[in-house]
């Protein structure tokens, strides 16, 4: 019996007895019990009460392709080469990279491959960090798109992705989200999500970009106990249930639109909106420039037309194409 079939019965958060589920699925109670142990191993909280049966610690909205596709226009659907939903994967970005290596994807004419997973066992953050990815309660999304004019034209793409993601969240009632250069999504200084871009191909010609997006939706403190920075989930912000399917659909829609816009005019068309969302604008900050030199302090002054960070230092205006930014109380 399939793990997913059982989860679908339990998803309503109500009690279901082993007998009832066995009858519904045409299997023995022992088979149900065995599958429940597998479900438990993923970290999903299952309560069992004598005489009542089993129920999930809370309601679960599983990711469903039809609900995600509902948000897309005909043009968007035509651009989808594949939309894959997995129960578990090491990392959706890694899966996307493997798909590229298999080389049987048809990404011509701007078509995209998208995958989402209920869980990641080896989720990746920027700079080699771990991205906590518990089952069934967040968004782990990756998209592959081919670009044919070299990586230099892709400057600012990750910032445009952040803008598209904020637009999608706004449409789901998640408001007040800010961006932190280069591509963190924050709410009241707490991390709500992150973006990780990876590339393959020719730096001067045709290259494929993997756009990975992770957003915390309803993960609990217990599930995120290893996160070592202030974080928040979308349901804390809205105070109500946030549909992962709706948000995944909106992200797909806004990302496809943003990529079309980026193809036309690069980051310049997103600059103003990005700056209006900038969490650190006019703040005292410190940039550690990928270990190249000591930390640079200054006032954050927004971004250039290609998405590089502008910082007013004592020695004048400095432009950063990479690095880590931290708030300082003064410069
Ligand atoms: C960051 O450090 O802020 C970036 C986090 C990116 C996480 C997403 S989740 C989907 C995709 N798969 C991964 O392994 N990472 C990205």
Write the pLDDT tens digit of every residue in 263-278. 999 999 999 999 999 9
**Nearest atom of ligand 1 to the alpha carbon of 193:** 3
| Distance from the alpha carbon of residue 291 to the mean position of ligand 1, in angstroms | 22
How many angstroms separate the CA atoms of 272 and 255, rounded? Answer: 18
165 within ligand 1 shell (Cβ under 6 A) = no
140 within ligand 1 shell (Cβ under 6 A) = yes
The pLDDT of residue 331: 73
Residue 198 predicted with pLDDT over 80: yes
6 within ligand 1 shell (Cβ under 6 A) = no
Residue 218 predicted with pLDDT over 90: yes
The pLDDT of residue 103: 74
Give Cα 82 to chain centroid, integer Å: 18
Q: pLDDT confidence of 292, banded at 50, 70, 90?
A: low
| Distance from the alpha carbon of residue 91 to the mean position of ligand 1, in angstroms | 8
Over residues 71-85, mean pLDDT: 97
What residue owns the CA closest to ligand 1's atom 16?
212
Among 7, 195, 27, which Cα is nearest to 118's?
7
The pLDDT of residue 133: 96
Over residues 185-201, mean pLDDT: 96
The pLDDT of residue 58: 84
Q: pLDDT confidence of 143, banded at 50, 70, 90?
A: very high
Residue 5 predicted with pLDDT over 90: no
C-alpha separations of 326 from 116, 180, 284, 302, 331 in Å? 31, 10, 9, 14, 12
DSSP state of 265: H
**Nearest atom of ligand 1 to the alpha carbon of 127:** 2
| Distance from the alpha carbon of residue 19 to the mean position of ligand 1, in angstroms | 40
| Distance from the alpha carbon of residue 251 to the mean position of ligand 1, in angstroms | 15
What residue owns the CA closest to ligand 1's atom 9?
214
Give yes or no for a contact between 274 and 159, defined as CB atoms under 8 angstroms apart.
yes
Among 139, 132, 131, which Cα is nearest to 61's?
139
The pLDDT of residue 21: 92
Q: pLDDT confidence of 80, banded at 50, 70, 90?
A: very high
Angle at alpha carbon of residue 91, lines to 157 and 213, rounded to 5°: 30
Q: pLDDT confidence of 330, banded at 50, 70, 90?
A: confident
111 within ligand 1 shell (Cβ under 6 A) = no
**Nearest atom of ligand 1 to the alpha carbon of 120:** 14
DSSP state of 130: B
| Selected residue with higher pLDDT from 285 and 41 | 285
Dihedral sign, CA of 306, 175, 178, 330? positive
Among 55, 133, 35, 27, which Cα is nearest to 90's?
133
Residue among 214, 229, 244, 279 whose CB has most ligand 1 atoms within 8 A, to mutate: 214
What residue owns the CA closest to ligand 1's atom 7?
214
Over residues 249-268, mean pLDDT: 97
The pLDDT of residue 290: 56
Give yes or no for a contact between 146 and 206, defined as CB atoms under 8 angstroms apart.
yes
Expressed in percent and rounded to 5, the helix, strand and coil fractions of the chain are 35, 30, 35
């Amino acid at each position: 019996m399939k793990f997913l079939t059982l989860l679908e019965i339990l998803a309503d958060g109500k009690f279901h007895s082993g007998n009832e589920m066995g009858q519904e699925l045409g299997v023995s109670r022992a088979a149900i019990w065995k599958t429940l142990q597998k479900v438990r191993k993923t970290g999903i909280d299952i309560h069992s009460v004598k005489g009542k049966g089993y129920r999930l610690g809370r309601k679960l909205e599983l990711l469903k392709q039809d609900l995600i596709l509902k948000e897309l226009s005909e043009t968007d659907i035509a651009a989808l080469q594949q939309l894959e939903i997995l129960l578990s994967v090491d990392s959706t970005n890694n899966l996307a990279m493997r798909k590229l290596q298999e080389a049987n994807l048809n990404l011509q004419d701007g078509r995209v491959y998208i995958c989402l997973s209920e869980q990641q066992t080896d989720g990746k953050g920027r700079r080699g960090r771990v991205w906590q990815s518990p089952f069934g309660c967040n968004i782990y999304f990756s998209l592959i798109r081919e670009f044919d004019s070299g990586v230099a034209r892709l400057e600012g793409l990750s910032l445009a992705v952040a803008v598209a993601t904020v637009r999608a969240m706004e449409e789901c009632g998640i408001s007040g989200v800010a961006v932190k250069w280069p591509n963190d999504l924050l709410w009241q200084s707490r991390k709500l999500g992150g973006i990780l871009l990876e590339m393959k191909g020719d730096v001067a010609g045709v290259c494929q970009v993997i756009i990975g997006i992770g957003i915390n939706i309803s993960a609990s403190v217990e599930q995120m106990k290893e996160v070592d920075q202030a974080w928040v989930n979308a349901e804390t912000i809205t105070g109500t249930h946030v549909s992962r399917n709706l948000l995944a659909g909106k992200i797909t829609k806004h990302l496809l639109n943003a990529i079309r816009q980026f193809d036309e005019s690069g980051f310049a068309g997103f600059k103003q909106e990005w700056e209006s969302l900038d969490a650190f604008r006019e703040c005292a900050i410190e940039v550690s420039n990928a270990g190249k030199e000591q930390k640079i302090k200054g006032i954050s002054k927004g971004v250039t037309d290609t998405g590089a960070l502008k910082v007013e230092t004592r020695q004048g205006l400095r432009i950063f194409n990479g690095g880590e930014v931290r708030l300082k109380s003064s410069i």
